[in-house]
Structures are given as structure tokens and as C-alpha cells.
Chains A and B, each alone.
Chain A
């Protein structure tokens, strides 16, 4: 088993984690609006990254179409809210159900017919692209002209209808990210978690041991799809507009999986660290480009691409494993404190 799981982490790891959570809870008191929006992005990518990581990092199923579940979740809750006035807290159950059904359908078809590896990855892209084109032509949810939620009144936070200030969304996403972390940690120590690891490492060996490959792969796809769809619900109510070209686009699927890959696939902290690094990198590059007068379209993305290239070349397991080593959180118990 790879290092970096929480089970290998000593007590002080938990202390550091609680300190981090505490700092994140207090942060909005000191942060300006811009910082809050950046933090929202970080938490969003950490959350959906964690959901994707469950499927890829734990069970080894490479999905390149997770934008499908974000989009289905977003559209389901938003359409119920706009057309029928259904609160997103009720609508999210529809999102969960639809995304889980879509994940289940893809999983059922793929795993039944032995579609695996690259083929599975491309099947997931195909479904996401299919959904993008279908939503483009579905006028009930706005088609390609977009679907809009009534813009929120920022003076008052209406948690029941998810209408409110960015700070409200920040806390919501913080709770979701923390929840996803706890859930994934619990799953890792469960029977299913060990089965998934076995399947990831060697499907043949896992099957020989009597693990029902089909059933456990189905569990993980459905679970990951459902988790991802909740990210979509928040996305819809935070941005208030949905365009199929943006929500379901392949670049969204790629964006969504960068954080866990850069952070460290199969680690609980990977998606969080990756989301933090990538979002601050993107925002920081914006600032730097503006400062040195290179504010030309394309330059920032070239640097971003180069940074990805360098990380993937020199840190094949992502940033977290070496970082965990540096923080001595990788299973070598130690009493002294280094900063968080």
C-alpha cells in the first residue's frame, strides 16, 4: 500500500489537520472578497477531486468524464428550483439519484462487457460529450443559450434556498470537503475499501480471492458519481448560470482531475493539496503576468502547462507523498512540531 493514507499518519497529523480546519473556519473573518472566491474555488476542486479520487485512487478506475456528474447534479437541482421552486436541499436528492443512475449505467455497461483501462476512460468521455450535445439541444433547461437562476440577494443569507453571500458558499464547501475527507477515510478502513485497493493493484488477483469485481466496481462508480453531483449542485447555485458548453466540456473533466493527480492519486490529502497548489498557481500567475506587463491571452496557460509538465515529470506520485515526508507525516512517529 502506498504511503500517505491517514492510517499511517501519527497523532500529530490529526493535530495538524484540526489546526488546519480551525484556521479555515476562522479565515473568512480576515479575508477580503477576492480571497474568499479563490478559497471557494480551492474547496470546490478539493471536494470534486476527492470524489474522483475515490474511483481512481482507490479502485483504479480512470474516469475522464466526471464533468457529466457535475453537470447532471447542477442541472437537476437548478431545474427543480427554477421550474418548481423546489429547495436545493430537496433537489439535491434528485441530483444524487440521477448522477448515481448515470454512473451506474456507465459502470454497468462498461464492467459487464469488460471495458477497462483506456477504453473505459474514453467511454466516460463519450458519455460526457453526448450529454453536452444533448443539453445543448434541450430547450427545457435553456439549451445552448444557457440556464439561469434568479440572481441572489446578497444582503441576506438564505441557506434553505442556497441564495446568499460567497461566505455562505465557503462554509458549505468547507463542510462538504471535510465530510468527503471523513467519508473517504472511513471507506478506506472498511471492507469495501480493502477490496477496492485489491482491485486497483491487481484485478485478477482480487478476483482469485473471491472479490466480486463487478459489484465492487459498480459501488465505487455510483458512489463517486453521486458525491461529484453534490459539487454540481453547489456550482449551479453559486454561479447562477449553466451552459452545456462549459459545464459538460472535456476541459472541465480534465480540470477536475488535475488536483488529485498533482496532489497525489490515492492519498486523502492529495486532492486538497493539489487544489490549493493549482488554484494559487493560476491566480498567482494572473498577478505576476499583470505585474510584468505580459497580460496577453495564452501566456498564463503556457506557464500553467509548463508547471504541470514539470510536476508530472519529477514528482510521479504527486506533491503530497514527498511533502508528507518533509512534514514527517508519512508514518514515522515524532514528537516535535514543525509549522502547519
Chain B
């Protein structure tokens, strides 16, 4: 095989990986602040994907343009989930939080199954088969648009946490829970806000991914796992780590699919996760594990 094929596949994996990274960024933000692992993460993303599919089917609305409203809907969902369900579980043991979110995931998967049926749904845009050519490199236009959108959303989130007062307050909660309480921050509201932001990330990522792959109700759990793999590889709680991990997993899966069989590609992602956990449990960009 000529080298350009590898390059093409790697670039394609990198672009998809950026979208994965945005999805994982949501998980990372939630864990970094609320210290709850969102076991319903992939399932929440399928909600966003189905909203995008439904909007496209009914009104021909482009998922990339609907990215902001869909993210807003997911933000509301995340806010309500944290405020209503998860806040009482903050100080409960991990297995208890795990159970709660597994139950939520189960309800989401089956509610989607009930509403949309088990068949795969997809969105066929006018630009689905367009591509850009850059020398020997041929890239899908859809992937480029999705990756750019993912980078913009992630950049917005970085800016929010770095420069806005609310973002700083949320970081304060993450750094020192008691300190945040002492200075009078409304931690529960900030937690709800954080979960909402994390959910908005998956919402945005979902409306991009729907352009790249078909959605079924059963897709959720595998993307929850993928988000774990990415976040742990990059460093749980590290925001740039999630993006880096996403790109790394994207490239690994794409190349493994090319070199071996596509059905074995996730094996390499899990293999990488095992290696990272063993030699650098805090992740590539993570601070030391607590």
C-alpha cells in the first residue's frame, strides 16, 4: 500500500478523533469538577443524535447549524439531571453513583428504542460526498466541517473556564470543595451548571457525529466506553488531555482498521488504555492521580 493511504487514513482518523475528543471533553469536565463518572455519557449523546436526525427528517435542518440549539437542549437536560438526581449522590460511594447513572442510561436507551425503533438512522446532507484535495491528501468535507466545529466549541469552553467569572468559580469548586463553600459559592448550582456544560459538549459532538455515522439506540454504551478510553488516555479531568486522547484514539482506530480488520479496531483502543493505565495511570496530560 502506498504511503499516501496511511496518511489519508490517519488524517481522517485525526478529524473524527477531534469530534470524539469533544464528546470526551464533556465527560472530563464533569468528572474534574463534580467527581462523578457519567456512565450515561454515550447515551446522552445518542439523544442529541436523534434530535438532529428528527430535525433533519422533518425540516431539512442541517445538523451543523442546529449544533447550538441541540447543545442548549442537552445543557438543560444535564442541568436538570445534576440538580434533580445527582446532587444528592455527591457524597455517596462510587458504586452507588454508578448504579444511578446505569439506571438513567438504561432508561435513555429504551426510551429512544420506543420512540425511534431499532433501525439505524442517518442524515444525508448535500455535501456528504464532497471532499477537499490537498496535494496527495483527500479529505471528506464533512469531517473537516465537523472537526472545525468541534475545535471551535472546545475553544469556547476553554475560554469560558479561563476568563469568565463563573468559569473561575467552577474551577475553584474543583480545586477546593470546602474552600469554595467557605467563600460562599453556591456549589450545587455550579455543579448543575458544570454537568449542563458537559452535556452541551456531548450535544454538540452528537450533532457532528450524526454526519459521520448512523445512529441506533444501542450506540450509547459503546460511546460511553469510548469516552472513558479517551479521557483516561488523555488524563481524567484534564481538558486538553481529552482532545489529545480523542485524536490519538481516532488515529489508532483508523490505522488499526486499515492494517487489521475494522471489527478489531476497538481492541487497539482498549489495548492502549491498558498500557496508559499501567504506566501513566493519571493519563498523558493528567496531574498525579488522586
Residues of A at the B interface (CB closer than 8 Å) are 56, 62, 64, 109-110, 113-115, 117-119, 121-123, 125-127, 129-130, 133-134, 136-137, 144, 250-251, 254, 257-258, 261-262, 265, 296-299, 301-302, 304-306, 308-309, 312-313, 316
Contacts of A115 on B, CB cut-off 8 Å? 277-278, 281, 289
With contacts A118-B236, A302-B114, A306-B107 taken as known, whether A134 is within 8 angstroms of B267 at the C-beta atoms is yes
Q: Are A261 and B110 in contact, with the CB atoms below 8 A?
A: no
| A308 in contact with B103 (CB, 8 Å) | yes
CA distance A306 to B267 in the complex (A): 33
Note all chain B residues with C-beta closer than 8 A to A302. Answer: 106-107, 110-111, 114
* A299 contact set on B, CB distance < 8 A: 110, 114
Cα of A122 to Cα of B85 in the assembled complex, Å: 23
CB contact between A305 and one of B98, B106, B118 (< 8 Å): that residue: B106
Min CB gap B240→A, angstroms = 19
Contact partner of B114 among A121, A265, A296, CB < 8 A? Answer: A296
**Would A250 and B225 count as touching, CB distance under 8 A?**
yes
Closest approach, in angstroms, between the C-beta of A103 and any C-beta of chain B? Answer: 15
Is B104 an interface residue, CB under 8 A from the partner? yes
- Give me the interface of B with A, judged by CB distance under 8 Å: 31, 37, 85, 88, 92, 94-96, 98-100, 102-104, 106-107, 109-111, 113-114, 118, 217, 221, 225, 228-229, 232, 236, 261, 263-264, 266-267, 270-271, 273-274, 277-279, 281, 289
> What separation, in Å, do the CA atoms of A123 and B102 have in the docked complex?
18
Sample 23 A-B pairs with CB under 8 A, ordered by A number: A113-B277, A119-B289, A122-B273, A125-B225, A126-B273, A126-B274, A126-B277, A127-B274, A130-B270, A130-B271, A133-B270, A262-B99, A297-B118, A298-B217, A301-B106, A301-B107, A301-B109, A305-B104, A306-B107, A308-B99, A309-B85, A309-B103, A312-B100
Q: Which residues of chain B have C-beta atoms less than 8 A from A309's C-beta?
A: 85, 100, 103-104, 107
Contacts of B263 in A (CB 8 A): 133, 136-137, 144
Bound together, the chains give a CA A114 to CA B289 distance in angstroms of 9
- A123 CA to B280 CA in the complex, in Å? 13
Task: Give chain A residues whose Cβ lies under 8 Å from the Cβ of B106.
Answer: 301-302, 304-305, 308
Give me 5 other A-B pairs in contact (C-beta within 8 A), A265-B95, A312-B99 excluded: A117-B94, A126-B274, A133-B267, A302-B107, A305-B107
Which residues on the B side are within 8 Å of A301 (C-beta)?
A: 106-107, 109-110, 113
Asked if residues A123 and B103 are in contact (CB atoms below 8 Å), the reply is no
Interface centre among B92, B94, B106 (most CB of A within 10 A): B106
> Are B270 and A126 within 8 A (Cβ)?
yes
Task: Tell me which of A62, A109, A306, A312 contacts B278 (CB under 8 A).
Answer: A109
Q: Shortest Cβ distance from A247 into chain B, in angstroms?
A: 16
Q: Are B228 and A125 in contact (CB under 8 A)?
A: yes
A-chain residues with CB within 8 Å of residue B281 when the two chains form the complex: 113-115, 119
Taking the closest CB of chain A, its distance from the CB of B259, in whole angstroms, is: 14
Specify which chain B residues have a CB less than 8 angstroms from the CB of A261 in the assembled complex.
95-96, 99
Residues of A within 8 A of B261 (CB): 137
Q: Is the CB of A312 within 8 A of B274?
A: no
Q: Judge whether B277 and A316 touch: CB under 8 Å.
A: no
Q: How far is the CA of A127 from the CA of B229 in the complex (A)?
A: 12
Contact A298 B113 (CB under 8 A): yes
A-B contact count (CB 8 A): 125
What residues of chain A lie closer than 8 Å to B98, measured between beta carbons? Answer: 62, 64, 121
In the A-B complex, the 6 residue pairs with the smallest Cβ-Cβ separation, listed nearest first, are A305-B106, A298-B114, A298-B110, A298-B113, A308-B103, A305-B107
Interface contact B94-A312, CB-CB below 8 Å? no
In the complex, the answer to whether A122 meets B228 with C-beta atoms within 8 Å is yes
Set A136, A262, A305: member contacting B110, Cβ < 8 A:
A305
Give the shortest distance, in Å, between A127 (CB) and chain B (any CB): 7
- Chain A residues with CB under 8 Å of B85's CB are 309, 313
Provide the residues of chain B in CB contact with A313, threshold 8 Å.
Answer: 85, 88, 100
Cα-based distance from A297 to B31 in the complex (angstroms): 33
Instruction: Please measure, in the bound complex, the distance between the C-alpha atom of A19 and the C-alpha atom of B102, giving whole angstroms.
Output: 35
Closest to A144 in B: B263
Question: How far is it, in angstroms, between the C-alpha of A297 and the C-alpha of B117 when the chains are bound?
Answer: 9
Q: Please give, as numbers and ranges, the residues of chain B lying within 8 Å of A306 by CB-CB distance.
A: 103, 107
A123 touching B274 by the CB < 8 A rule?
Answer: yes
Q: How far is the CA of A298 from the CA of B108 in the complex (A)?
A: 10
With both beta carbons as reference points, the residue of chain B lying nearest to A257 in the complex is identified as B95
Which of B107, B228, B278 has the most chain A CB atoms inside 10 A of its CB? B107
Q: What B residues does A297 contact at CB under 8 A?
A: 110, 113-114, 118
Please measure, in the bound complex, the distance between the C-alpha atom of A302 and the C-alpha atom of B92, giving whole angstroms.
Answer: 24
Q: How far is the CB of B243 from chain A (nearest CB, A)?
A: 19
A319 to B263, CA, bound (A): 41
A171 to B104, CA, bound (A): 36
A130 and B95 within 8 A (CB): no
Q: Which residues of A contact B264 (CB under 8 A)?
A: 133, 136-137
Name which residue of chain A comes closest to B88, CB basis. Answer: A313
Residues from chain A with a CB closer than 8 A to the CB of B88 are 313
Bound-state Cα–Cα, A313 to B92, Å: 10
CB distance from B156 to the nearest CB of A (A): 28
**Complex Cα–Cα for A316 and B93 (A):** 9
Most buried by A among B100, B102, B289: B102
